[in-house]
Amino acid sequence: MANHLSERFETSAMTNEEKRSHKAEIRKQIVAFALMIALTFMAFAAVATDFVPRTLAIPFILILAIVQLALQLLFFMHMKDKDHAWANVFMITGIFITLPTIVALMLLIGVTKY
């Protein structure tokens, strides 16, 4: 009975529709990966060259990082899938708790610094 385990399957257990959706998902992940690499190069170029003024470099890099984070969460952490509702709820709750905390700490540091 265990001799059959080393043999290769003749056909896949996936249907043609599942194979097509799997290939489409892989294509999307490759495009997202290429886009994230491009965003990383844009961030490095913004620092290394002067195509972004120095006053706008940090906000520009932060915007690129936010876009890159969104791509990472959607395509590689699969947050766009329907069965990740609880993970999305926890993440949104964390954002709503973290942002006011950071703003409050920045105000406290600003108040005590000056």
The pLDDT tens digits of the residues spanning 12-39 come to: 788 888 889 889 989 999 999 999 999 9
Find the mean pLDDT for residues 39-66. Answer: 90
Q: Is residue 114 over pLDDT 70?
A: no
Give start and end residues of each alpha helix (H) in the chain.
16-48, 54-71, 85-113
Q: Number of C-alpha atoms within 13 angstroms, CB side, residue 46?
A: 20
pLDDT score for 101: 95
Alpha-carbon dihedral sign for residues 15, 16, 17, 21: positive
- CA distances in angstroms from 33 to 16, 22, 64, 95, listed in the order given: 26, 16, 14, 25
- CA distances in angstroms from 64 to 49, 67, 71, 107, listed in the order given: 16, 5, 11, 25
Q: Number of C-alpha atoms within 13 angstroms, CB side, residue 76?
A: 12
User: What is the rounded average pLDDT for all residues in the chain?
Assistant: 86
